[in-house]
Amino acid sequence: MGTIFEELVRRFNEENNEEAGEHWTPRDAVKLMAKLIVLPIADKIESGTYLLYDGACGTGGMLTVAEETLHQLAAERNKKVATHLYGQEINAETYAIAKADFLLKGEGEAADNLVGGPEHSTLSNDAFPSREFDFMLSNPPYGKSWKSDLERLGGKDGIKDPRFIIQHAGDPEYSLITH
């Protein structure tokens, strides 16, 4: 069903002259990304609850594929896992599609964990500042200008958001945004 849904989104966007990859990521690429975040630690998966996050969640497909991948790899190792999905999306229409999709699938809790609209840029407005996630994957729209986000973060020399600052013992701070 996910493949059919993505094909409908792709056709709709083509008819409206949207950029090819602006609103969706091909299912094969999503499956590869999900495997890349889970396979390296597959043997360390324990029974328990895992939080998955997509900071540019679009229609939510990457979250559901990552969830399916985690469940499959856990089951292959006789582990039982529960998952909670979280996402934020800057495009209000795409966010609405994701929310509706989750609600239609009966995933109300996951739908409640989605936020969206122009004020929810993952760069300048962390929707889940008190959460730490076990897995994160995103495919942000590369054609979008992030200049306004950079300004809201404090500019190239003033970034204070700890999500984008890396500091190792004895080394100066290093900003992911400016390097």
| DSSP annotation string for the chain | -HHHHHHHHHHHHHHTT--TTSS---HHHHHHHHHHHHGGGGGG--SEEEEEEETT-TTSHHHHHHHHHHHHHHHHTT--EEEEEEEEES-HHHHHHHHHHHHHTT-HHHHHTEEESTT--TTT--S-TT---SEE-----TTS--HHHHHHTT-TTT---GGGEE--TTS--EETTT-
pLDDT of residue 41: 93
Domain ranges of the chain: 30-142, 145-179
pLDDT of residue 102: 92
| Highest CATH level, class, for 30-142 | alpha beta
pLDDT of residue 156: 74
- φ, ψ of residue 136 to 5 degrees: the values are -140, 135
pLDDT of residue 179: 45
pLDDT of residue 20: 47
pLDDT in tens, the chain (179 residues): 556 666 666 666 666 555 544 556 778 888 999 999 999 999 999 999 999 999 999 889 899 999 999 999 999 999 999 999 999 999 898 899 899 989 988 888 889 999 999 888 888 888 998 999 999 998 877 666 777 777 777 777 777 777 766 666 666 555 555 44
